[in-house]
Amino acid sequence: MISSMTGYGCAQGQLDGVTYVVELRSVNSRYFKSRIRLPETLVFLEEGIERFLQNNLSRGTVNCVIRLRNAPAGTLFDIDEAALARYLEILERAASSIDIKCPIDIAGLLALPGIVQPAGADPAGAERLKKKILAITGEAIAQVRQMRAAEGTALAADLAVQCEAINQHLAEIRSRSQDIKQEYHKKLRGRVDEMLADGKIKLDESTLAREVAVFADRSDISEEITRLDSHLKRFTESCRADGQAGRRLDFIAQEMLREANTIASKASETEIINHVVDIKCRIDRIKEQVQNIE
């Protein structure tokens, strides 16, 4: 069954006393796109997280935010004591050279480049952290996919209603188009007979038949009806199939609209045109809904 591209998931887990919270939000997008916000200590995981998201949520814009809770200072940053000592040495030498005495502001020193750095983990610790974060992310993804599936079921139900309505209008058009030729023949004959009544001139049946044949060829919509009916069946089958169907459904909906426009351009009968207007409204609804499908 089809799935939506809209979903939300949130999961958390602990490692070494630190709680990691992963929050995912996905919305519609033509392709896959990720926006990942990480604490500085987890920046090295960004590429792996993006690849993991793309493998599991192949379409849509996915916003991923990871937050830390109860994290001790030692897990957040390191202070480069050698760099700090070097800064102090330079400042003391500068102060003595110009004979200036002033207190040293530690907070100001910590703001200097290279003093405070994100805490780095050893290779083994980094691998443990990566596995844990990806496991938590997997739980959040499962929630997103569950919500996407639920919304996909609702979308499929609405699309089925629209397709059934189009099918009914198409049946009315098919039935009505079969009577148009005969009605045009009667109407044309009546007009000609009325115009020639005073002259007692009889209408040439071959000329009338030729005129009716030209009209029938110009206004024939049987091929368009057949193609639109075929597109409807393909659309319904695609909604029931497994896997990603969004792009396929979007293409089929465009072809359905193309056939409806052709029928409207050929039709000269008011009832058929009214049915086509309703069909086009339904197709517009379908195209809008299809934009939400993965």
Task: Look up the domain containing 93 and give its range.
Answer: 81-110
Residues 46 and 96 in one domain: no
Stretch 260-289: mean pLDDT? 88
Give the pLDDT confidence of 214-243 residue by residue, as tens digits.
554 455 677 888 899 999 999 999 988 877
Residue 33 within a domain: yes
Q: Please report, for the domain that includes residue 60, its CATH number.
A: 3.30.230
Residues 97 and 168 in one domain: no
Stretch 252-271: mean pLDDT? 87
Residues 49 and 139 in one domain: yes
Answer whether residue 163 shows pLDDT above 90.
Answer: yes
- Total domains in the chain come to 3
Q: How confident is the model at residue 120, as a pLDDT? A: 56
Residues 49 and 132 in one domain: yes
Residue 1 within a domain: no
110 pLDDT tier (thresholds 50, 70, 90): low
Residues 134 and 21 in one domain: yes
Stretch 243-264: mean pLDDT? 90
Answer whether residue 92 shows pLDDT above 80.
Answer: no
Stretch 100-124: mean pLDDT? 63
Answer whether residue 191 shows pLDDT above 80.
Answer: no
Residues 142 and 255 in one domain: no
The pTM of the whole model exceeds 0.75 = no
Q: How confident is the model at residue 144, as a pLDDT? A: 95
Q: How confident is the model at residue 173, as a pLDDT? A: 86
Residue 272 within a domain: yes
Name the domain boundary from 99, 130, 150. Answer: 150
Q: What is the DSSP string of the chain?
A: ---BS-EEEEEEEEETTEEEEEEEEEE--SSEEEEEE--GGGGGGHHHHHHHHHHH--SEEEEEEEEEES--HHHHEEE-HHHHHHHHHHHHHHHHHTT------HHHHHTSTTTEEEPPPPHHHHHHHHHHHHHHHHHHHHHHHHHHHHHHHHHHHHHHHHHHHHHHHHHHHHHHHHHHHHHHHHHHHHHHHHHHTTTTPPP-HHHHHHHHHHHHHHT--HHHHHHHHHHHHHHHHHHHSSS--HHHHHHHHHHHHHHHHHHHHH---HHHHHHHHHHHHHHHHHHHHHTTB-
Residues 69 and 101 in one domain: no
Q: How confident is the model at residue 10, as a pLDDT? A: 96
Residues 135 and 221 in one domain: no
Residue 2 within a domain: no
